[in-house]
Amino acid sequence: MRDYYNVKVNLPAGIVSPGTLQTVLKLAYDAKVRTVRFGARQQLLMTVHYEDMRFLEKDLKQQLISYEVNTEQYPNIISSYCGEEVFRTGAWLRESEYHTVLDQFDYQPRLKVNLSDFNQSFTPFFTGNLNFIASPDPHFWHLYVRPKQSNTLFHWPELIYTNDLGRLAKAVEEAMLDQGYHDEDTIHKAVTSGQTFITQPSTQEVELPEFSLPYYEGFNRYGQRSWLGLYRRDEQFSIAFLLEVCALCLKTRIGELCTTPWKSLIIKGIEEKDRATWSYILGKHNVNVRHAANELAWQTEDNTSDGTQLKNYVLRYFEKNDTRTFGLCFGVQTRPKSEVFGSILIRKRSLLRIGQLALVSVYDLYFTEDFNPNSRAYHLFEKGLFKLHVPNQINRLCRQFSTRRAKESVDVNPPEVEKPEPISAGITTVHQCPHCFTVYDEQYGDLRNCIPAGTPFYDLPATYTCSTCDAPKADMREIQVELIN
């Protein structure tokens, strides 16, 4: 008999209302669960002791909450909605379109479904079996199909209209899983022979955007509001903390919470008047923010600590050697059939086994085409590494990437026309935030924080915070800058 069970609750597209999450968390707490996790497919995960499992299942069924125990029969639908507005705004794909698509899934997909905007790099494009990617043509989507347990990817010959995505996804799933079709022509014929969809010809493939992982943690402003990204090093969120988050969302009329493929949580639409309350909750539960960017750029598998342990081992090396990882993300794969997202992939394999017991394990390092994690082409860099040697070899790959990017930058930049030397107008002193590099210049003041021009930095109240990231006044550093005419 198992001592513990892994329970999964799908949060379609990574979206959940505070009320629904609050209900699930209260039931989990009653079942003596004290921490939960968010998975790589934006789902909610928890580990439950076998003695409490039957009570939790009974409560979940009474609340009509779908769940799975130790299985992955119904993968969660994932989407790029979590980054909408806060990192970028799509040309036409907005909140309403995401919800229009989700409303069509009146069944639980057995295939992995990804919904992505074409001009973002925060969420993966091709980790699903049915990968819908918004096209530049409003309300039409590309579809890339990848059969289960396969790296083969083919492009659907037509663009699909938004209102037909759910119906077509179900038809493709039935053709692949129930009728046993696997190649492009037979799947397309089986889907289109019995029913019609609103489509238009697809004249070109999706052009992958250059990968750049936005900093998705801490308080950040957008428009007149703020969003808050929450990340935990051990991937564990205390239920007590999340219950307070849900309660504050309900109190301040925040209608949605967003989970991300990076196992984090994003809260959008925080009003300025509520910022202090949110900061209080973070302090009360000792939730830290503003971790190093290279620490956030990792994907590990769900329901295993092996990947997290290796990640932390490599990060200690990065910190000691001040390794540059900008523009890269890392995936750790410790199980043969799992899938992670990364421009550098670390695969663990057993060198010597006795039955199910791995006595000696080694690691293989791969990198994707052009170091773009959305590429499906992997290149072997090093094979059969012991754990001790993994960090240094990853460091070599990082240097190779940086050298390559620097060379490309030199190649594409034309020679600059010689310009006259600028004339210095003197030196002035300003104060700069070390976290986000925002500058306070008394000549201009801080309109966002209602500080008039001409206010010296030392006359600012002790409660003054950075206008961008809310770092305290005490953190800001005095620097001198040269004025140029």
Q: Are residues 299 and 341 in the same domain?
A: yes
Q: Are residues 360 and 431 in the same domain?
A: no
**Band (98; pLDDT cuts 50, 70, 90):** very high
**What's the CATH number where 396 sits?**
3.30.413
Sheet holding 15-16, edge to edge: 15-16, 257-259, 265-270, 225-230, 218-222
- For the chain, the straight-line distance linking the first and the last C-alpha, in angstroms and rounded, comes to 77
Pairing of strands 344-354, 330-333: parallel
Amino acid identity of residue 8, one-letter, is K
Give the Cα separation of 188 and 395 in Å (integer): 44
Q: Are residues 457 and 355 in the same domain?
A: no
State the pLDDT at residue 2: 66
**Band (50; pLDDT cuts 50, 70, 90):** very high
Single out the residue in 412, 440, 475 at which a domain terminates: 412
- Write the burial class of residue 437 (CB in 10 Å: 0-12 exposed, 13-18 middle, 19+ buried): exposed
**Band (46; pLDDT cuts 50, 70, 90):** very high
pLDDT in tens, 111-133: 999 999 999 999 999 999 999 99
Give the Cα separation of 106 and 324 in Å (integer): 46
State the pLDDT at residue 483: 60
Single out the residue in 201, 228, 248 at which a domain terminates: 201
pLDDT in tens, 262-274: 999 999 999 999 9
Q: Are residues 391 and 430 in the same domain?
A: no
**pLDDT above 90 for 458:** no
Q: Are residues 345 and 454 in the same domain?
A: no
Cβ atoms of 300 and 267 within 8 Å: the answer is: no
pLDDT in tens, 399-453: 999 998 888 776 655 555 555 555 555 677 888 887 767 888 888 888 778 888 8
**What's the CATH number where 477 sits?**
2.20.28.10
Cβ atoms of 409 and 376 within 8 Å: the answer is: no
State the chain's mean pLDDT as an integer: 91
| Helix, coil or strand: residue 42 | coil
Single out the residue in 392, 412, 432 at which a domain terminates: 412
Closest CA to 122 of 326, 316, 285, 262: 262
State the pLDDT at residue 75: 97
Q: Residue 178, CB half-sphere, CA atoms under 13 Å: how many?
A: 10
Residue 397 belongs to some domain of the structure: yes
User: What are 89's two structure tokens?
Assistant: 């705004």
Residue 321 belongs to some domain of the structure: yes
User: What are 345's two structure tokens?
Assistant: 């992939």
**pLDDT above 80 for 309:** yes
Q: Are residues 315 and 369 in the same domain?
A: yes
Residue 16 belongs to some domain of the structure: no
Task: Give the Cβ contact number of residue 190 at 10 Å.
Answer: 18
Q: Are residues 408 and 428 in the same domain?
A: no
Q: Are residues 330 and 433 in the same domain?
A: no
- Residue 73: its H or E element: none
Q: Give mean pLDDT, residues 69-94.
A: 91
Q: Are residues 388 and 303 in the same domain?
A: yes
Q: Give mean pLDDT, residues 372-385.
A: 94
DSSP 8-state assignment for residue 28: H
Q: E strands within 335-415?
A: 344-354, 357-368, 378-385
Number of structural domains in the chain? 3
Residue 83 belongs to some domain of the structure: no
Q: What's the distance, CA 3 to chain centroid?
A: 31
Q: Which domain holds residue 466?
A: 424-484
Residue 220 belongs to some domain of the structure: no
DSSP 8-state assignment for residue 413: S
**Band (148; pLDDT cuts 50, 70, 90):** confident
SS3 track for 417-480? CCCCCCCEEEEEEEEECCCCCCEEECCCEEHHHCECCCCCHHHCCCCCECCCCCCEHHHCEEEE
Residue 270 belongs to some domain of the structure: no
**Band (476; pLDDT cuts 50, 70, 90):** confident
Share of the chain above pLDDT 70, in %: 94
Q: Are residues 406 and 429 in the same domain?
A: no
Q: Give mean pLDDT, residues 217-242.
A: 95
Place of tokens 């012991």: 386
pLDDT in tens, 61-78: 999 999 999 999 999 999
Q: Are residues 368 and 438 in the same domain?
A: no
User: Is the whole-model pTM more than 0.75?
Assistant: yes
Give the Cα separation of 357 and 435 in Å (integer): 46
| Helix, coil or strand: residue 293 | helix
Q: Residue 228, CB half-sphere, CA atoms under 13 Å: how many?
A: 24
- Write the burial class of residue 289 (CB in 10 Å: 0-12 exposed, 13-18 middle, 19+ buried): middle
Closest CA to 291 of 231, 213, 211, 228: 231
384: phi > 0 → left, psi -120 to 50 → alpha, else beta; which?
left
b/e per residue 367-401 (b: at least 16 CB within 10 A): bbebbbbbbeeeeebbeebeeeebbebbbebbeeb
Residue 48 belongs to some domain of the structure: no
Q: Are residues 346 and 453 in the same domain?
A: no
Residue 217 belongs to some domain of the structure: no
Give the Cα separation of 267 and 264 in Å (integer): 10
